[in-house]
Structure 1
Amino acid sequence: MKSRARSMLDKSIAAMLSAIEIYNKPDFNYREETFSVLCVNAWELLFKAKVLQLARNQVTNLYVWEHRQLKSGRKSKKKYIRNNRAGNPMSVSLFEAHRIIIEDYGVKVNKAVKTNITALAEIRDNSIHFINDDLSLAIKVQEIGTASLQNYLHLVQEWFGPVLDKYNFYLMPMAFFRGFDSVNGETLNASEKNLLQYINGIEKEYDNDAPSDYNLSLRIDVNFKKVKSGSGIPIQLTNDVKAPVVRLAEEEIMDKYPWDYDVLTTRLQKRYSDFKANGRYHSIRKSLEDNEKYCRRRLYNPSNPKSGSKVFFNSNILKEFDEQYTKNS
């Protein structure tokens, strides 16, 4: 049975695949707008899947909690779940889920990831003002969208293992859709000008950054060249039932042991009043690393047993630390 985190991840992947499929259609007049809506939705679901993974699949961690207004006019001390108009629990926003991951669990996420998603959200929010035949706006959407796909691939791999190996994640270059020399650009309205100025402004912040796995935007240059028929990338397929299966084991490891050192340390700092990341803490942690109930080493390259490894923890390890430190009241 799939965990809640994995079910949410599957929804996220489905949303991103839909965004790519719509964008790559040869004739679709609402291409950039629909892509931005689905891409942002995929990111929100990915962040929520990560929250669930970190929070032992407790869905209440995705709910909005608030202090209720009492008859006396004061706010209640106890927090209650906020419901939407349909009476269902209201879930946290995309950026609140991002904050929970970083601040409440100490997961490190490259700054360019949030900046990229913010730009996509602006494109989504302004989509009603788009003029599809304007080349400058369409190119900017593709540059930001391409970087967003790259960022998404790297984070899914890092957080959940090789679950995307069977998919092709790319946006068809615009040269396949239309000729750049023959596009009839239209005059941008005030909203579109403001949007492009905003995007160009945040891009300047990353102009001097070194090449990275995570980016705000990526520019694609397309060149057509004749090649020999045998010059493609060689691949080999197998239906050998005895071939080692790695993907399932990796997914299980990431689902059962979602915390790395930074997350564990952050959770302990928030949980105990007398906790310090000192020699005592390191000694307790290392004494538990050989216990598979709490800890597991994951290879950077699962297909190579000699590759480096990283230690991941199951949240049940908190029970051991509860005996050593004082919990916050």
Structure 2
Amino acid sequence: MLDKSIAAMLSAIEIYNKPDFSYREETFSVLCINAWELLLKAKVLQLARNQVTSLYVWENRALKSGGKSKKRYIKYNRSGNPMSVSIYEAHRIIAEDYGVKIDKAVKSNITTLAEIRDNSIHFINDDLTLAVKVQELGTASLQNYLNLVQEWFGPVLDKYNFYLMPMAFFRSFDSVNGEALNASEKKLLEFINHVEMEYDNNESEYNLSLRIDVNFKKVRSGDGIPVQITNDLQAPVIRLEEEEIMDKYPWDYDVLNTRLQKRYSDFKINQEYHEIRKALSSDKRYCHERLYNPANPNSGSKLFFNPNIVKAFDKHYTKKS
């Protein structure tokens, strides 16, 4: 699912960066949101030990008596396949059920791009204001996406160039066709501007929108910074190992605490818990220490846990009924 998400985001970038494409912003918004939904669902699968049922919509069926069944059943769509959770429900599962911290700007950015996608049928392609907003939101969305993929799955995107071509490269600003916004477009821009106001002083590495400024100037042939492109044969091996490690140890400290709180009736984050956790952390079956920079053993590290560690905690705490 992660591969599908990356493919969708690469398609969004490729479509956006075409020099002549009349449905640029709308198509980018659709593919970008699709990539985000698949990424969030891939994270749910990772946290849930690849149990596909974690992505299903469950419901309490109506009884003949008029009430609801206590047992929950999988909800199916019109074609008879299980319905999967929405992008927002996937976000909720990650943040609430597993305690993974996701910056508020990430959700606001996704929500705003989804609003553009949902309103795309009303767009006027020649309108410059909406085009600028889509680029600003899209640029921030790509940066947020890169950061989260790196944090959740390791350096799987190192070989890709994730950027949106600045509008100056394919727009003629001195001859833009101006068209009056209709009522739907005005409401959409008002919504975007209102959300942007909340992040005017945001200093997080995650962003709602980013503006690109492009300046052209003549330079001497020797003024450029020398760049060397290499193809390190060891890089793919490191990347594969990193993916496997993140798949085996998907929980960090916060996720572990959240899952234990939901699992036990007498669980408390205290000295006793820390002593138990530290003892289990030395067991490679349950814990892996991940270096921030694998090439530098002195770069600092972070502990990640295998979900099977909860079975070890069962000996110390009482499971909820």
Among 283, 288, 308, which residue is 2:275 paired with? 283
For the 8 Å contact 1:51–1:100, the answer to whether it is kept is: yes
SS of alignment partner, residue 250 of structure 2:
coil
- Counterpart AA for 2:252: D
2:199 aligned with 1:203, yes or no? no
Give the Cα separation in 1 of the matches to 2:253 and 2:276.
Answer: 13
Classify 1:319/1:85 alpha carbon distance in 2 versus 1 (closer, same or farther; 3 Å). Answer: same
Classify 1:233/1:168 alpha carbon distance in 2 versus 1 (closer, same or farther; 3 Å). Answer: farther
Give the Cα separation in 2 of the matches to 1:106 and 1:319.
Answer: 19
Structure 1 residue 236: Cα displacement: 4.2
SS of alignment partner, residue 303 of structure 1:
coil
Q: Give 2:50's aligned residue.
A: 57
Q: After superposition, what is the alpha-carbon deviation per residue over 1:287-312, rounded to whole angstroms, capped at 9, x for unaligned?
A: 01111100000000111111100000
Q: Give 1:4's aligned residue.
A: none
Q: Give 1:122's aligned residue.
A: 115
SS of alignment partner, residue 311 of structure 2:
helix
Give the Cα separation in 2 of the matches to 1:156 and 1:242.
Answer: 21
Give the Cα separation in 2 of the matches to 1:236 and 1:93.
Answer: 41
Structure 1 residue 213: Cα displacement: 1.6
Structure 1 residue 232: Cα displacement: 3.3
Q: TM-score, normalising length from structure 2?
A: 0.97
Give the Cα separation in 1 of the matches to 2:188 and 2:234.
Answer: 54
For the 8 Å contact 1:40–1:120, the answer to whether it is kept is: yes
State the superposition RMSD in angstroms.
1.3
2:59 aligned with 1:29, yes or no? no
**Identity percentage over the alignment?**
78
Specify every segment of 5 or more residues in structure 2 that has no aligned partner in the other structure, as ranges.
none
Q: After superposition, what is the alpha-carbon deviation per residue over 1:236-277, rounded to whole angstroms, capped at 9, x for unaligned?
A: 4246x5789421111111111000000000000000011001
- Counterpart AA for 1:108: K
SS of alignment partner, residue 315 of structure 1:
coil
Q: Give 1:101's aligned residue.
A: 94
Give the Cα separation in 2 of the matches to 1:226 and 1:292.
Answer: 57
- Counterpart AA for 1:27: D
Q: Give 1:133's aligned residue.
A: 126
Specify every segment of 5 or more residues in structure 1 that has no aligned partner in the other structure, as ranges.
1-7
Classify 1:248/1:216 alpha carbon distance in 2 versus 1 (closer, same or farther; 3 Å). Answer: same
2:39 aligned with 1:46, yes or no? yes
Q: Give 1:301's aligned residue.
A: 293
Q: Give 2:178's aligned residue.
A: 185
Give the Cα separation in 2 of the matches to 1:218 and 1:10.
Answer: 26
- Counterpart AA for 1:296: H
SS of alignment partner, residue 141 of structure 2:
helix
Q: Give 2:207's aligned residue.
A: 215
Give the Cα separation in 1 of the matches to 2:178 and 2:297.
Answer: 55
Classify 1:246/1:130 alpha carbon distance in 2 versus 1 (closer, same or farther; 3 Å). Answer: same
Give the Cα separation in 1 of the matches to 2:26 and 2:164.
Answer: 14
- Counterpart AA for 2:151: E
Structure 1 residue 68: Cα displacement: 0.2
Give the Cα separation in 1 of the matches to 2:149 and 2:102.
Answer: 12
Structure 1 residue 73: Cα displacement: 1.2
Q: Give 2:302's aligned residue.
A: 310
For the 8 Å contact 1:273–1:327, the answer to whether it is kept is: yes
Which deviates more from structure 2 when the two are superposed, residues 108-117 or residues 241-250? Answer: 241-250
Q: Give 1:274's aligned residue.
A: 266
- Counterpart AA for 2:240: L
SS of alignment partner, residue 177 of structure 2:
coil
Structure 1 residue 233: Cα displacement: 4.4
Q: After superposition, what is the alpha-carbon deviation per residue over 1:101-131, rounded to whole angstroms, capped at 9, x for unaligned?
A: 0000000000000000000000000000000
2:3 aligned with 1:10, yes or no? yes
Classify 1:49/1:243 alpha carbon distance in 2 versus 1 (closer, same or farther; 3 Å). Answer: closer
Give the Cα separation in 1 of the matches to 2:2 and 2:234.
Answer: 29
Classify 1:187/1:155 alpha carbon distance in 2 versus 1 (closer, same or farther; 3 Å). Answer: same
For the 8 Å contact 1:246–1:303, the answer to whether it is kept is: no
Q: After superposition, what is the alpha-carbon deviation per residue over 1:127-151, rounded to whole angstroms, capped at 9, x for unaligned?
A: 0000010000100000000000000
- Counterpart AA for 2:111: T
Structure 1 residue 183: Cα displacement: 0.5
Q: After superposition, what is the alpha-carbon deviation per residue over 1:204-254, rounded to whole angstroms, capped at 9, x for unaligned?
A: 1111222x3200000011111223444234224246x57894211111111
> How many pairs were matched up?
320
Which deviates more from structure 2 when the two are superposed, residues 245-254 or residues 117-126? Answer: 245-254
